[in-house]
Amino acid sequence: MSESAHTPVAQIEILAAKREDESVLANLLELYVYEFSELLGIDAGEDGRFGYPQLSLYWSEPERYPFLVRVDGKLAGFVLVKRGQGIDGGGTVWDVAEFFVLRAYRRRGVGIRVAHEVWRRSPGQWEVRVMEVNSPALCFWTDAVTTFCDEAVSAVRVERDGRWWQVFSFES
């Protein structure tokens, strides 16, 4: 196990990613998509990369917000947030589109602290979607939302494109 896994986290920064950070985010997204490749049946392209076609939209569409996460000054992950229509087709909600913490920083409270800070920065109605087959993520998001709201928040089960999701809705 690496030394960083034993070291307490001193400082977490959530920084708005700039256009010049796009290649850094693209590299982190490769790791993120790789982790989902088995669950979603995603294959690498002929160039050996998975890609993330929506990434450039985070600098061209006004309702998308990319963030980099640093722990003790070191790159540790990212969060992609967007505003849009809720899962029920109702009003506009904040949406955790993608969320990733490098393995070296997991199970140290980094993810929950990052999620809570992102929610605090953007008050309003939020939705968090989690694939049911991704049980570690479902446990993480259940804990993150419950501790943020100081009460159990029931997720709604939704089917999209043949996959089942749990969707948490709450106010920040």
For the chain (172 residues), the mean pLDDT of every run of 10, in chain order, is 54 96 94 75 72 91 96 96 83 92 90 96 94 92 96 90 91 92
pTM: 0.88
CATH topology of domain 3-171: Aminopeptidase (3.40.630)
Q: What is the pLDDT of residue 37?
A: 66
What is the three-class DSSP state of 27?
Answer: helix
Q: What is the pLDDT of residue 113?
A: 96
Half-sphere exposure of 4 (CA within 13 A, CB side): 14
**For residue 98, what are the β-bridge partners?**
80
Maximum Cα–Cα distance for the chain, whole Å? 47
Q: Which residue has the tokens 């749990």?
A: 166
Q: What is the pLDDT of residue 36?
A: 74
Q: What is the pLDDT of residue 3?
A: 44
Give how far the C-alpha of residue 34 lies from the chain's centroid of Cα atoms, to the nearest Å. 15
With beta carbons less than 8 A apart as the criterion, state whether 140 and 116 touch.
no
What is the three-class DSSP state of 105?
Answer: helix
Q: What is the DSSP letter of 25?
A: H
User: Rounded to an integer, what distance in angstroms lies between the CA atom of residue 49 and that of residue 28?
Assistant: 12
Nearest to 127 by CA among 109, 114, 113, 141: 141
User: Rounded to an integer, what distance in angstroms lies between the CA atom of residue 40 and that of residue 50?
Assistant: 12
User: Rounded to an integer, what distance in angstroms lies between the CA atom of residue 40 and that of residue 34?
Assistant: 10
Write the single-letter amino acid at 121: R
Nearest to 142 by CA among 166, 126, 123, 120: 166
